[in-house]
Amino acid sequence: MPDELEAHVRAILRALDPEPGREGLRRTPARVVRALEFLTRGYGVDPKQIINGALFVEDYSEMIVLKDIDFYSMCEHHVLPFFGKAHVAYLPQQRIIGISKVARLVEVFARRLQVQERMTTQIANTIMQELDPLGVGVVLEAEHLCMRMRGVEKQNSVVLTSTMLGAFREHQATREEFMTLIGRR
């Protein structure tokens, strides 16, 4: 597969650049393939396996919030980066998850060709299904280079998406507590 990808990148370079054989571009196809493999490595990871390896029985029933989880992803529409912060909260119901696993879950979904809306929902749904908490809230805030570098070229735009499940959807006070804790009102 890498050889096939390299051939495609070489063809793109020939179409874009009048001197595709120059020294600076000679090894570019291999570098692009390695970068794409790295940036899409989330396809090779089962998100459920990340969680199932770190579930713990604990008598804790208050909100658990992980905020400002940095992520980098690739827009599936233009194959350009979008990046930002994820904020994830849940209300446990006798089981908690190792906190680093929440960040790993964000990473798995970010390292795929994505749209921010789907990524937000995938994170929330996976936690809800695997942990069975009373509720889950996920907010992503991201900058999209497809908005900044091309098209409308809006340099200061930020996209906010949210998914609220269970108690976060059903109870305004729970949702407000989450938004207050992450600094969004």
pLDDT tens by residue, 43-94: 999 999 998 878 999 999 999 999 999 999 999 999 999 999 999 999 999 8
For the chain, domain boundaries: 2-39, 47-181
pLDDT tier for residue 182 given thresholds of 50, 70 and 90: very high
Of residues 128, 132, 130, the one with CA closest to residue 163: 128
Calpha distance 125→52 (Å, rounded): 14
pTM of the model: 0.94
The pLDDT, as a whole number, for residue 185 is: 61
| Mean pLDDT rounded to a whole number for the chain | 94
What are all long-range contacts of 27-31, with beta carbons under 8 Å and residues at least 24 apart? Answer: 29/5, 30/2, 30/6
CATH number of 47-181, picked from 1.10.3720.10, 3.30.420.40, 3.40.50.1460, 3.30.1130.10: 3.30.1130.10
pLDDT tens by residue, 12-46: 999 999 998 899 999 999 999 999 999 999 999 99
